[in-house]
Structure 1
């Protein structure tokens, strides 16, 4: 009797590499919009940030939550 073992494939390295640009793109976007410069001067609410940056109301909290999740 021949036993065959199947090696479990792990796509995590491919997925990590494929999505690695998301964090850098998010940081680049925040920097280009001067978000950190604006917040260095004064604390603002999400609504105030949305208004100052001209962001769509539906996307502001996803944008800010993603920055917080990345430690910014």
Structure 2
């Protein structure tokens, strides 16, 4: 008798008799349906956007872009100036570089002016609306 895990996999597998191949079923359709079940892509996309937003929000709260306005800095220098935890600082900075918010060259992180200007505009708008740090936690 198959275990519960295998039963769940079997239930979610596409039915070959309905004309869907495994390739077409995995991609889903514009309607968000795959063989009568909801496709997870919209939810996964929303989750990814939420993560990206949180990373950017953290950079704004730490005033990272103003710190980098003086010039590119290494991860240990940024960690010390911003008070970042040693375990997470490299992942945080690399995530920002991966999102195109920072540049990374020879271990030094710098600002991307076009993206930084957008981020600063968001911060100005947020401060102009009276949003306080304590209300963002």
Q: TM-score range by the shorter chain?
A: 0.7 to 0.9
1:26-65 residue pairs with structure 2 within 5 A? 26-65=55-94
TM value normalised by structure 2: 0.46
Structure 2: gaps spanning 5 or more residues:
1-15, 21-34, 102-137
* Higher strand proportion: 2
Structure 1: gaps spanning 5 or more residues:
none
Runs of 4 or more, structure 1, over 3 Å off, are none
Matched residue count: 70
TM value normalised by structure 1: 0.83
Structure with higher RCO (Cα < 8 A, 6+ apart): 1
Quote the RMSD (CA, aligned, Å).
Answer: 2.0
